[in-house]
Structure 1
Amino acid sequence: MVPSSAPKAWSQRFESALHPAIAVFNASIGFDIALVEYDLTGSVAHARMLAKTGILTPEEGEILVQGLEKIRAEYRQGQFTPDIEDEDVHFAVEHRLVELVGDVGKKLHTARSRNDQVGTDIRLYLRDQIDQIRIALRQFQSALITQAEQHVETLIPGYTHLQRAQPVSLAHHLLAYFEMTQRDWDRLGDVAKRVNISPLGCGALAGTTFPIDRAYAAELLGFGDLYRNSLDGVSDRDFAIEFTCAASLILVHLSRLSEEIILWASEEFGFISLTDSCATGSSIMPQKKNPDVPELVRGKTGRVFGHLQGLLVMMKGLPLAYNKDLQEDKEPLFDTVATVKACLEAMTILVAEGITFRPQRLAAAVASDFSNATDVADYLAAKGVPFREAYGLVGQVVRTSLAAGKLLKDLSLTEWQALHPAFEADIYAAIAPQQVVAARNSFGGTGFDQVRAAIAIAHATLSPP
C-alpha cells in the first residue's frame, strides 16, 4: 500500500506530507506489530496509573482499559491488522482506540512518549521470551539426561586437539553439555534482572510535568525496579545486547554439539546412526543420510553472532538520548529470539530421537588406540616410580609398540617387566578401557560412580524442591 497524505499524530508542525518512499522507509509496523500485546499491556497499566493519580478520571481510565482490551481481542481474532498507514504499533493502537472510544482515546498518551513506551514494550516482550527460552533449555537438558542415563558405562574416545586422549563415559561427555546449558540458564536469569527495569514515565527524555506514579505502573507490569535517570531509561539497550550475547553463547554450545554429531555420523567415526526422522537424503546420491539439523544449527549460530555485532555497532556512537537508530534494535532481537528457540527445539528432538549410538563401534574405538598410556604411567607412579620417570618409560614403550604394530594390551608380561620390574600381571586389568574409565573417580571425573552422582544432581537441578 502506498501511504496517503493523511496527517500523522506528529504532523501539525509540518507544512507538507512525508514523501511516500520515506514514509515506507520510516515505518516499523511491518515488524514491531510483534509487540502489540505488550504495547496493550503497557498501555493498560499506564491508563490505570493516570486514573489512580487523578490525571484522568476513574471513568476515563476504565473506558481506556476496556478499549485496549477490545483491541487485544480483535488482534487475537485476526481483526486488528494495521498496515503501513499506521507507521508503528503504538500509533496503530492509539488510532484504533480513538475509533473505539472517541476523544477519550486521545488522552492515553498523556504523560508518555513513544520513547519510554517502546522501551517498556520491548522489555515486556524480552522478559516473556527469556522465560520461554529457559523452559526450552530445560527440555534440552532433560533430553541430554535421558541419553546419559542409557550410556553411563558406554565408552567413547575422549579427545584433545581432536587426537585420541583418554576414554570417557559417553554419559560424562553428554553431561558436559548439560553443564554448559546450565550456565546458559543461569545467565539468562541474570540478564532478566536487568531486563525487568521499567522506563515507563521517563517520557521523551526528561520525565514529565504530570504527577505520575512510576512505581505503581511498574508494579502493575511486574517490573522489579525503575530507571533512575530518564535519559538512560529511554536510550538504554544494554539489556538487548546482553541478551543477544547470552543467546550467542547458547548457540556456541549447540553448535559445538552439532559439530560433534556431524563428525560422529560420518563413516570415518561411525559412532552414531541418524534416524530417518531427523535426517535427509541427497538428490543424486541415494546412499547418503545428511545431518541437516546440526548443520543448520551450526550455520544459524553465525546469524545470531551477526545480530550481536549489529547491536553493538548501532549503539556505539549514539549520543543521549533517544535516536531513530534504536528502531533497528527490534529485527535483530526478534530474529535472535526466534532462532534460539527454533535451534533449541530442533536439537532437543535430535538428541531425544534423532541419533542412535553404536556401542560396539565405540567399544572397538576405545580398544584400538593408546589412550590408556597415561594409566600405565599412573600404575607405575602408584608403585613409587616418580611420575615424570614413568611418563618417559611409557613414551618409550608406545614408540616401540607402534613400530611393532602392537597395542599396549598385546605386550607380554615379560615385555612389561623388561621395561620396569614394578610391572605385574595386574597391569592388564589396570589398562582395560572399562577400568581406565572407572578409576577416574575424582569429583567431576568420568568414573562411573561420579557420572551416576552427576546424573542425580542434574535431575535435582531440573526438579528443585
Structure 2
Amino acid sequence: MVILLLLLGVPRLPSVSFAMHEETILQHTGRIKSTLHPEASAIVFDSDLQRAASDELPFYADIDRAQAIMLERVGLIDRDLTKRVLVELDKLQADGFQSLAACLAPRGSYLAYEDYLRSVIGKEASNLHLGRSRNDINATLLKLKLRAPYQALVAELIKLLRVLCGRARGHLETVFPLHTHRQPALPSTFAHHLTAFGVALARDLDALMALHPLLNVSCLGAGAGGGTTLPILPELTARLLGFVMPPLNSIDSVASRDVVLRLLASCAILGSSLSRIAETLLLWVGESGLASLPDELVGSSSAMPHKRNPFLLEQVQGKAGATIGCFVAAVTGMHSTPFTNCVAVGTEATRHVWPGIDNSIGAVRLIRLCFAGLTVCEEAASAMLENSFVNAMETATRLAVDGGLDFRSAHNEVGRLVTRAVESGVPSLSAMMQDGRILNYETSLAPDVIARRARAGGGPAPDTVATALDELEKGIERGAALLRELAVGWSRAREELRSAIASIEEPTVQRTGGGERSAL
C-alpha cells in the first residue's frame, strides 16, 4: 500500500493506517490527494464499517438496487453491469456485509462502500452514481432507516392505549378521588382517570401518524441539490423503495431534515404526557395507597428492607426528559444553518433522533407494563372520598340551585362547615350537615352518587365514560389501520423491487421474423 501511495504521489501522513480491502481503490479525488487527517477522521467517522454493516449498508444496498434497475431502464448503464451489481449486493447482504465491515472508512461509509464495489466489480461500478449524490442518498437513507423505529413507537403507543381502554372498561363503577394541587378534590372514577390519560395520549398518536406523509416522499434524484440533466426516473426509484412520491424540490430534498424535528417534537410532547401520568401514578402508589404495583414491577432497597420502590415510573420520567433533550439538541443544531445540504443538519442534528425514539419507546413500554399490573385499592379510595370533603363543591351547588342562596354565598357557607369539621376533628362534611337545607341532600351528596350522576362536560358518570371510550377506541383502530397500510405499502415495494431484480436476471428476449429467441 505504501508503494501505491508513492507511485500516485500521495503525501503520506505519519500515523494514518490504510488497511482497507486489498483491492480497494484509493480515495484520490483528483482535487484532494490524501485521506482525512486521522484525528479529524476519528471524530467524524467510525474507525471501521462494523457499525455501518447493520446501520447503513443494508439501506445503501437497497438504494443501489433501485438505482441500478432505474439506470438500466433508461439506458445509462447496461444490463451486464446491472446484473453484476445485483449479484455483488446479494453476496454482501448474505454475509451481513462482513466482507466490507473490516474495511476502514477514512472518508465515510458511503465512499468506502462505493470503493469496495469498484474493487470487486470494476471501476464502471461508480456509474451507479449517475444522477445522484451523497446528499440525496443520505436524505433517502434517513427516511428508510426511520421506518422500523417509527413503526415500533406507534405500535407501542397503540398497545398502551388499548391497555388503558381495556382497564377502564373494567372500572366504570370504581369510585376514585380526583386530585387538584395534590389534594383530594372531587369524586371521580378510576375509569374516568384512565380515559383521560387515553384521550391525551391519543392526540400524541395522531401527531405521530400525521408524520407518515413526510416519511413517504423520496429524496433520491435530487442529487447535490440541483437535480440532474440526465433522463432518470425518480418516480421509479421512489416506488421501488416504498415511497409514494419522488422529490418535489431538489433543494428542499437535501436541505431539510424537518421530519426529524417533527418526529422528535411529537416524541417530546408524548414524553411530557407520559411524565405527568407517571407522576400521578407515583401519587397513587405512594403514601396515599390508592393503588399498588406487583412485585415484578417494583424495586427493593439495598439498605431498607421494607421498601417497594415504584422506580419504573421514575424511569419513564427520566426517559421522557431525555427525549426532550434530544429534540432541543436537534432543533438547535439545525438553527440558523444555510438552507442547502449541510453537515450540521444532515449529520450532527439528525443523530439525536435515534436515542430520542429509543427513549420514547422505552417510556411507553414501561408505563404500559405498570398500567397492566396496577391494582386499585378500593378501600383506600373509598376512605379518602369519605374523609376529604370531596362533596363540598356539589353541596354548594345544590344550595345555590335549590337552597335559595347565590353560589358565592353557598360556597362560603360550605367553606365554614368544612372549617368547623376540621377544627372539631370530625372526618367528613356529612357529619356537620345540621342545616335542614343540607340534610335534604344527604344521600345525593355521597361521593359515589355524585360520580354516577356527573354526566355533563365529560364527567365520570359510567355511561359518559363509556361513550368517550367508544370514540377513543375508534381513533385507536384508525391509527392501527393506517400503521398496517404503511407496513403493507413498504412490504409491497420490497416485493416489487425483488420482481424488478428478477426481470433483470432473466435472459433478454429478442423478437425475430420466425418467433422469439434468447439473447444472453
Q: TM-score scaled by structure 2?
A: 0.81
Contact 2:19/2:104, CA 8 A, preserved across alignment: no
CA distance in 2, matches of 1:328, 1:83: 24
Aligned structure 1 segments of 4 or more residues deviating by more than 4 angstroms: 5-8, 28-33
Distance 1:276 1:146, change over 3 A: same
Q: SS at the partner of 2:282? A: helix
Deviations 1:193-213 (A, max 9, x none): 223222211111212232111
Corresponding position of 1:370: 389
CA RMSD for the aligned pairs? Answer: 2.5
Corresponding position of 2:205: 185
Contact 1:50/1:56, CA 8 A, preserved across alignment: yes
CA distance in 2, matches of 1:96, 1:377: 80
Give 1:214 shift: 1.5
Corresponding position of 1:428: 442
Q: Which amino acid aligns with 1:461?
A: G
CA distance in 2, matches of 1:331, 1:70: 29
CA distance in 1, matches of 2:356, 2:71: 35
Q: Which moved more, 1:150-159 or 1:22-31?
A: 22-31
Corresponding position of 2:4: none
Q: Which moved more, 1:184-193 or 1:218-227?
A: 218-227
Corresponding position of 2:508: none
Q: Which amino acid aligns with 1:373?
A: A
Q: SS at the partner of 1:168? A: strand
CA distance in 2, matches of 1:82, 1:371: 68
Distance 1:67 1:30, change over 3 A: closer
CA distance in 2, matches of 1:444, 1:83: 62
Contact 2:301/2:307, CA 8 A, preserved across alignment: yes
Q: TM-score scaled by structure 1?
A: 0.90
1:335 to 355, 367, 372: 355
Corresponding position of 1:401: 421
| Match runs of 1:112-123 below 5 Å | 112-123=132-143
CA distance in 2, matches of 1:27, 1:458: 46
Corresponding position of 1:158: 178
1:321 to 306, 321, 340: 340
| Match runs of 1:198-347 below 5 Å | 198-266=218-286, 268-325=287-344, 326-347=346-367
Q: Which amino acid aligns with 2:225?
A: L
Give 1:60 shift: 2.7
CA distance in 2, matches of 1:447, 1:82: 65
Corresponding position of 2:468: 454
Q: SS at the partner of 1:228? A: coil
CA distance in 1, matches of 2:350, 2:28: 22
Q: SS at the partner of 1:366? A: helix
Contact 1:24/1:84, CA 8 A, preserved across alignment: no
Q: Does 1:381 pair with 2:400?
A: yes
CA distance in 2, matches of 1:10, 1:430: 86
Contact 1:198/1:218, CA 8 A, preserved across alignment: yes
Q: Which amino acid aligns with 1:307?
A: C
Q: SS at the partner of 1:444? A: coil
Q: SS at the partner of 2:56? A: helix
Contact 1:204/1:234, CA 8 A, preserved across alignment: yes
Give 1:11 shift: 3.8
Give 1:298 shift: 0.8
Corresponding position of 1:54: 75
CA distance in 1, matches of 2:400, 2:236: 69
Contact 2:257/2:350, CA 8 A, preserved across alignment: no
CA distance in 2, matches of 1:97, 1:113: 16
Distance 1:197 1:20, change over 3 A: same
Give 1:62 shift: 3.5
CA distance in 1, matches of 2:472, 2:17: 56
Q: Which moved more, 1:252-261 or 1:66-75?
A: 66-75
Q: Which moved more, 1:359-368 or 1:22-31?
A: 22-31
Contact 2:35/2:107, CA 8 A, preserved across alignment: no
| Number of residues of Structure 1 aligned to a counterpart in Structure 2 | 455
Rg (Cα) greater in structure: 2
Corresponding position of 2:32: 14
Contact 1:165/1:371, CA 8 A, preserved across alignment: yes
Structure 1 residues not aligned, in runs of 5+: none
Structure 2 residues not aligned, in runs of 5+: 1-14, 482-520
1:24 to 42, 59, 69: 42
Q: SS at the partner of 1:428? A: coil
Contact 2:247/2:253, CA 8 A, preserved across alignment: yes
Give 1:379 shift: 1.7
Q: Which amino acid aligns with 2:59?
A: Y
Distance 1:180 1:63, change over 3 A: farther
Q: SS at the partner of 1:248? A: helix
